[in-house]
Structure 1
């Protein structure tokens, strides 16, 4: 899929909490940026060429700047360390997007649940719901108050409970979800353990359809048995063909190579990042054929439509797949 790319300048950096640095980005000429809605994220191309995804946590009504926040992960893949250690005010960064894989949908009431740096999309949602006078509440958990970015900013917006683990233990999901109005939607972003606990509680108390989530990493092995079962159904052929319509070529995808690897040989400009099917950078439009999905992003309805796929983990259920790439 195509998304607009802009060269943006880092106008401001601010340490929001222990290990969390926010960046404010805008155009060098101060012109308007592409609009976005809560839940959206951007792809940030770092000076090293590394691509990472960050949720927008500013105000969608601000048309001239984006704000993101980055947790420094010393044991991560290096992107966050590069931002903390080398990116400075005045630097130009390539930004692609915004894209929204975690949009707010209409609901009678909202429960927003954030864990750690997962507060970033939740903050934008809370701001929007407050502006709309919607019914909502939020829980925000973290290791300690010192590590919880935007806690005061979020708390000032409405009915928000702050849960530092070192003071109160883990989030009380049972209490948060046991007495809510019919038609409540639950939006959760955070580490895998929180997502799984929220999903389990939500399914038991409100039903599976109430749960909406975004993860910042690949799901743990065995964390979602239903997804694993679906992924194992209807295995791909030993080999299939992929036609890249815009590139103008047809390639063989062997059983022992990923679709992304093969596509990159013909079109090295294809955007990708996680290679685990959770970030959405490589989402590509399917023009013909039936994709086999192995990502953790698309809904069941989107998978059945087969209009797009994550080519880093997806394959084909048909002998030939035609992609808009």
Structure 2
């Protein structure tokens, strides 16, 4: 069944932390929930897990409404908060046993589930260590094991790879992808490359509102417009290459970076041939002409980067770097 959110809203005083957020997720889908700091990601996740009461709107998880059946909702969820709450004076195995009991795992299955989670999350060698003695990465693994322990149909993971080293990140990414084949998985992260490699679909929130929803490819096509090219030209020192490239009809913008130019084409345009002919006509040597694929980071910045205010522009012009 998955998750359905309908106009979820959370207001603190005069500020709308989450502003009429609506979306649907189905079982077998891994959704990346992205946004800048303060955008409303964690607040939205806490409402879905019945940790926070919405100001208005509602949501259902596996068919249970968060207002009418909060206990049943919680039983459907494996939740890993951003700051993993752990009993640091307990050993790993004792903490997981307590978690299994709290999550109503049948007594006959507890030992087997603990061993399975130890294997899945790579915690076997640490099983008898106090959680407070573990590194941040291993503590994160303990939190993930706790979230998976009762085999919930829905996983909500807030920054699940925080504090992990590159090898651990790859392992957790593969684990999430595998789990996501049978469960509904919603995760937030600031590591956009990981989201791009892990998630089937991306939801971007900014200032409490959904600003984009789709696969990475769909978002690139929808928001990043036409072709992008990296161009390098060997031209005389007095040649005005910037203006010449910018003057091409199919070029929307030109940016010079580290000795080369990055060209953004007008939507649906492909200016590669025009660049080639420009250089040939002027006797310049075209040393590089490479298509650039927009990344999820490009889309994210396009949608969430605050536009420069007139006052900021005036300050920049008055005090150039």
TM-score normalized by the length of structure 2: 0.28
Higher relative contact order (CA 8 A, sep 6+): 2
Q: Under a length normalisation based on structure 1, what TM-score does the superposition of the two structures give? A: 0.28
Which structure has greater helix proportion?
A: 2
Q: Which has the higher strand share?
A: 1
Select the structure of larger CA radius of gyration: 2
